[in-house]
Structure 1
């Protein structure tokens, strides 16, 4: 194999697998986001493999070097600062290129914070959508949260400690009764999982939940949309768009609710 996409612990070093340790010891180079963070891990497990930075700001310039080295027989492990690489971290571009060039890679598993938070949330998990981080500021952030709040499935997203109150407050303003789970410090000493209606969760963030550590938010799916079939198709679509749904999704939803062909609804809407 040329590349080992290697999961590492998300907080508790006891979660490191034997397979991951052996992999990091035996490759020629470890690709990591922050060499200082990964060095703590490698020192703990007495791993002497050289480290090389691979992150959002240098991935394009480093990629050619990595591919060329692999073609010359070198092996690499790709890690993130914590958890599974590629999930909300750089890496998929490298894997995609390796696929195009028919090069070998393997994935070494580990925990992910969002899957653990989902399991601990007590919110339906048989179908869910992972949204990663919200846009940082402005209209895009507001629109994305509206989309999530109108999403019919359970939604999972990451949030920083200095924005968690703002995000939960925004969720409350859209639907104060929506069930929300907040998880922090997963696998660490002060691990915490709390579930409540959004209006209650805003109060808990003031009193019971320290604003420290990375957060995972799990949001119950939106309730079923009432069947407003007494209005025209286009008016129905416009109503869903006003509630925050994207045009494409609104057209599909109206088609599904009314048992119509999606293409017919699309054509009718775009005639206007």
Structure 2
């Protein structure tokens, strides 16, 4: 086997598996995002295997060397800073290259923050979509959030402590009654999972929920057509426009969320 895609704990080192420890000890090199972070893990488990940086900023530069070394018989483990490699982290390009080169690899599982948050949310999980991190700023971020809110199935997002309040506020402005779960510090001492309507969740952040640690947001799927909204159509549109949407986008979003014809919503808005 040339590569072991190896999951590591997302917070609590006791979650490290025996198989993962033995793998990291046996391979020739460990590929990791940040050698300082992975060194804490390897020191804890007395793993002396050499570390090599493999991250978004150097992956194209080092990929050829890694492939050549694999062909010469060297073995590698790919880890991320925490959890499963490749999930919102670099690595899929290397695996794709290995597939094209007919090189063998295996995946060694571990916890993943988004699956644990989904389980803890109490929100339906038979069908869900993992969206990862939203775009950082601007129109792309707003458009992606609209996509999430229009999505018929449960959505899972990652968010930073610096943007969590703004993201939940934006969700609340689109649909204040939508069920939302927020998880933080998963597997750590201050692990927390809270579920509430979006408008209630917005009030909890910074009060009941400290703005510390990485967050996972689980959003209930868009309501069915028969669900009603407390605010009038025109007010709903104005809220979205106030969030930065263009009126045309807001009209489409409101029509989709409420199960109405776009033209009817347009006419209602423009006769106000």
TM bracket (short chain): 0.7 to 0.9
After the TM superposition, list the runs of 4 or more consecutive aligned residues in structure 1 that deviate by more than 3 angstroms. 239-242
Q: Which runs of 5+ in 1 are unaligned?
A: 228-238, 255-272
Per the TM alignment, residue 121 of structure 1 is displaced from its structure 2 partner at its CA by 0.1
C-alpha separation in 1, matches of 2:222 and 2:69: 49
Q: How does 1:101-140 map to 2 (within 5 A)?
A: 101-140=101-140
Superposed counterparts of 1:7-22, under 5 Å: 7-22=7-22
Distance in 1 (alpha carbons) for counterparts of 2:53 and 2:156: 29
RMSD across aligned positions (CA):
1.9
CA distance in 1, matches of 2:53, 2:126: 37
Q: Matched residue of 1:83: which SS?
A: coil
Matched residues in 1 for 2:31 and 2:207: separation?
A: 41
Query: Are 1:146 and 2:146 matched, yes or no?
Result: yes
Q: Distance in 2 between matches of 1:54 and 1:128?
A: 30
Matched residues in 2 for 1:154 and 1:48: separation? 42
Q: Counterpart of 1:162 in 2: which secondary structure? A: coil
CA distance in 2, matches of 1:241, 1:181: 25
Residues 157-189 of structure 1, C-alpha deviations (whole Å, 9 max, x = no match): 100000000000000000000000000000000
TM-score (norm 2): 0.84
Aligned counterparts of 2:162 and 2:124: Cα–Cα separation in 1: 27
- Cα deviations by residue, 1:8-47 (Å, 9 ceiling, x for unpaired): 0000000000000000000000000000000000000000
Corresponding position of 1:243: 252
Report the counterpart of residue 163 of structure 1 in structure 2.
163
* Contact 1:129-1:153 within 8 A present in 2 as well: yes
Tell me, yes or no, if structure 1 residue 85 matches structure 2 residue 94.
no
How many equivalent residue pairs? 237
Structure 2 partner of 1:6: 6
- Are residues 1:198 and 2:214 paired? no
**Structure 2 unmatched runs, 5+:** 228-247, 261-272
Whole-Å Cα distance in 2 between the matches of residues 244 and 110 of structure 1? 38
* 1:258 corresponds to: none
Kept in 2, the 8 Å contact 1:4–1:78? The answer is yes
Q: Hey, what's the Cα distance between the residues in 2 that align with 1:153 and 1:191?
A: 26
TM-score (norm 1): 0.84
